[in-house]
Structure 1
């Protein structure tokens, strides 16, 4: 992480987290379109499974954006999850861009975000912090 301390980065990057979620959602949308033009889930079962898994992670990351706005710890958890979601999506797409209907660098804009928030030192900083549940609000 070259732009500041772990504490400074998380809150400042909720906007970046939202952009990564939007990017991932766009990739999933393109994959759904691609799936529909290549025979659907009956002929493309692996792609359909990967799309479903990715879509679920994208939806979860999107729901965390509101949680992330509630405080510093919440923002860190949100960024960590969004980075993990994007990294997982990248591993599904890499080498299969044609199947997903995307360009080779489809997640290029998420690279720095993934690098920052999937970094071992950042994740370790969250290990001893329980995220507030906000169940009373």
Structure 2
């Protein structure tokens, strides 16, 4: 089983790496005519960027405990997976290669593993709303 609390550092590095790829794709969009010309790319960039920023915000939540860390890491892994599915077949349009995500494979494999996700199914996760 993974050490989710320790893996939050890796999650932060994954977020930064994906963020750099999204910046590059955004520049590609701007240089190639913008959202008016490439609506699908703009849509996918918006979704991927929203997932990235949600993942970034979960790092603070993840630092609050073990379950929280596992939830945060699982979300980061899912964000990478979703990004990869948007890239496949559109690498030229994005200006990003799916292979550039391979450095995150080990992390994604750990936190998208069925047993990790199943362990989260029994909890909504602590909400930390009491103070």
The normalised TM-score by structure 2 is: 0.95
2:64 is aligned to 70
Q: Residue 99 of structure 1: CA displacement?
A: 1.3
Q: Residue 104 of structure 1: CA displacement?
A: 4.3
- Structure with more of its chain in helix, by fraction: 2
- Check if 1:54 corresponds to 2:48: yes
- Check if 1:29 corresponds to 2:10: no
For structure 2, the 5+ residue unaligned runs are none
| RMSD of aligned Cα (Å) | 1.1
After superposition, residues 35-50 of structure 1 pair within 5 angstroms as: 35-50=29-44
Measure, in 2, the Cα distance between the counterparts of 1:51 and 1:125.
31
2:128 is aligned to 134
1:97 is aligned to 91
Runs of 4+ residues over 2 Å off in structure 1 = none
For structure 1, the 5+ residue unaligned runs are none
- Is the Cα contact below 8 Å between 2:55 and 2:79 reproduced in 1? yes
Q: Encode CA deviations 1:68-95: one digit per residue, 9 max, x unaligned.
A: 0010000000001000001000111123
Q: Residue 27 of structure 1: CA displacement?
A: 1.2
The normalised TM-score by structure 1 is: 0.91
Measure, in 2, the Cα distance between the counterparts of 1:10 and 1:120.
15
